[in-house]
Amino acid sequence: MTHPTTTSRTTDVRAWLGLLVVLGPVLLVAMDGSILFLAMPRVSQALAPSADQALWILDIYGFAVGSLLIAFGNLGDRYGRLRLLMTGAVFFGLASAGAAFAPTPELLIAARAVMGIAGATLLPSALAVLSELFTDARQRARAIGIFAAAFAAGFAIGPVIGGVLLERFWWGSVFLVNLPVIALFLCGAPLLLREVRATDRAGRVDLPSVLTSALGLLLTIYGLKHTATEGVTVPAVVTGLAGVAVLGWFGARQRRLEQPLIDFSLFRDRVFSVAVITGLLPLAAWSATAYLAGVYLQSVHDIPVLRAAALALPGAVVLTVTCIVTPALVERVGKRTALLASHFTIAAGMLLLLPAAVAGGIGWYIASTVVAGLGYGISFAVVADTAVGAVPPERAGSAGALAETSNEIGNALGIALLGSLAALVFRLSGPDLAPTLDETLGLPGLTERAADDARSAFVTGMRVAAAVAGLLHLALGLVALRVLPRAAAR
């Protein structure tokens, strides 16, 4: 006869091993949102993408993940989380291999888009599978905390891992690193994980909502990017306005649907609204400044990629550690205080980038990543819990999905909007010989004066983007201070 304690221990071991298996894809999905930040100079040298293409290479992944998270969450509820998780992992691995060997910018963008679509299947399904593994509430809370820390760590260490790989291998290695993790997951998942369905949420996914949300975002951002890099043109304006119109139609449709893709009525709760914006804005600031700083270190200061990765390490460590310790801290100070602290520390970190210059500023960059890392870690740790806690239990699923989506959309919007702002400043204040710094520095016969002007213009654009991000966080912090009730967000 099997002793109950033995059975319980066996279940515990299976659950924690299953968590380890699930964390692999979670790390990859987060890491691939940032791993190219230090790799882009190498990608630019190898594939010579245009300024528009370089930005799409970076953020098409985040747009694909963010725009499809909710839709794939609903599909998993209907057809099975584990089935969707396994299918997504296979396509994520295949697309990673395609990206590694892409011979043109267009094919690399396409491969990154497929990676994003596959990544959108992994996050909600992995989180749902954890609920089956851990039936005890306390253990489940610990597991979800580890899940959140792994996701934050993936974002933070992506540039570092990219820098280490690029020191020894070609740029495609930053994608091939995904394959062993995917292989281990595909071998371990059938043994340790069980299928999870939510038959009470088996409603049909509204395909027009999925398509219009993605199309509206892409058209709007394309119009903004094209205007920043090429100036105001009729195609750019028409495309941007078409994107805004599509998004407007999407919003109107959601209000008519019985089961909308995004339940906009949730935003009537001000705590929920602040939490979701806190999920979006820090990721926007982090992704934009991390990308611009990667170019700053390598192309302005001519720092080797491995040393650039090492310079990013202190901020990554602070971010990850903060994410881990924040839940315990929140029990003492409350979520309201934590949300306020995240915005004000990120604002301070952004403003610390302003003294960065062509002739110096490395110390300011490190200080910026460390101070802002505190705010990023806090926001990653409290946003989902705050959003879910602000709504009735029967709407917790929609709230959690929106919180996750805000993270991914923020990651993509940061590069798209703040990156485009930096590109606009570079175009207006630089020598106007090419749309990007790396393209300018690669021009044959470039004079030293023109190169210095280009570097100076890039640094100015980076400062402007950092200042805007810092002021937005400062403003949101002041709004949160005013509108968040002391009791509601504790």
Using a pLDDT cut of 70, give the percent of the chain over it. Answer: 82
- The total domain count for the chain is 3
Q: Given 260, 279, 296, which residue is the final one in a domain?
A: 260
Q: Given 224, 241, 260, which residue is the final one in a domain?
A: 260
Quick one: 368 and 418 in the same domain? yes
Does 2 reside within a domain? no
Quick one: 132 and 159 in the same domain? yes
Q: Where is mean pLDDT largest: 224-233, 258-267, 473-482?
A: 473-482
Does 29 reside within a domain? yes
- In the DSSP assignment, the letter for residue 445 is T
Does 345 reside within a domain? yes
Amino acid at the residue 478: L
Mean pLDDT of the chain, nearest integer:
79
Does 355 reside within a domain? yes
Q: Where is mean pLDDT largest: 18-22, 115-119, 214-218, 228-232?
A: 115-119
Which residue shows structure tokens 């747009």? 63
Quick one: 399 and 443 in the same domain? yes
Quick one: 254 and 390 in the same domain? no
Quick one: 36 and 48 in the same domain? yes
Does 425 reside within a domain? yes
Domain that holds residue 101: 8-204
Quick one: 227 and 309 in the same domain? no
Quick one: 180 and 221 in the same domain? no
Quick one: 366 and 246 in the same domain? no
Q: Residue 482: its pLDDT value, please?
A: 84
Q: Residue 327: its pLDDT value, please?
A: 75
Q: What is the CATH number of the domain that holds 101?
A: 1.20.1250.20
- Of the given ranges (14-18, 275-279, 385-389), which has the lowest mean pLDDT? 385-389
Quick one: 400 and 315 in the same domain? yes
Spatial distance between the Cα atoms of 396 and 275, rounded to a whole number of angstroms: 14
Q: Is 35 left (phi over 0), alpha (psi -120 to 50) or beta?
A: alpha
Does 162 reside within a domain? yes
pLDDT in tens, 397-450: 566 667 766 776 777 678 778 888 888 898 888 887 877 787 788 888 888 888
Spatial distance between the Cα atoms of 353 and 468, rounded to a whole number of angstroms: 12
Return the structure tokens found at 172: 């495609």
Torsion of CA 97, 98, 101, 102, to 10 degrees: -160
Quick one: 241 and 342 in the same domain? no
Which residue shows structure tokens 């999407």? 250
Spatial distance between the Cα atoms of 113 and 99, rounded to a whole number of angstroms: 10
pTM of the model: 0.73
CA 234 to each of CA 142, 226, 228, 239: distance values in angstroms, whole numbers, following the listed order: 53, 11, 13, 8
Q: Which parts of 275-360 are beta strand (E)?
A: none
CA 328 to each of CA 323, 371, 387, 487: distance values in angstroms, whole numbers, following the listed order: 10, 20, 18, 18
Does 324 reside within a domain? yes
Quick one: 112 and 229 in the same domain? no
Q: In 3D, which of 184, 82, 94 has the Cα closest to residue 129?
A: 82
- Cβ atoms < 10 Å from Cβ of 90: 13
Q: Given 233, 260, 287, which residue is the final one in a domain?
A: 260
For residue 50, give every residue at least 6 positions away whose Cβ sits within 8 Å of its Cβ, in sequence order, or none: 105, 229, 435
Does 164 reside within a domain? yes
How many helices and strands, by DSSP H and E, does the chain display? Answer: 18, 0
- Of the given ranges (72-76, 282-286, 433-437), which has the lowest mean pLDDT? 72-76
Quick one: 128 and 159 in the same domain? yes
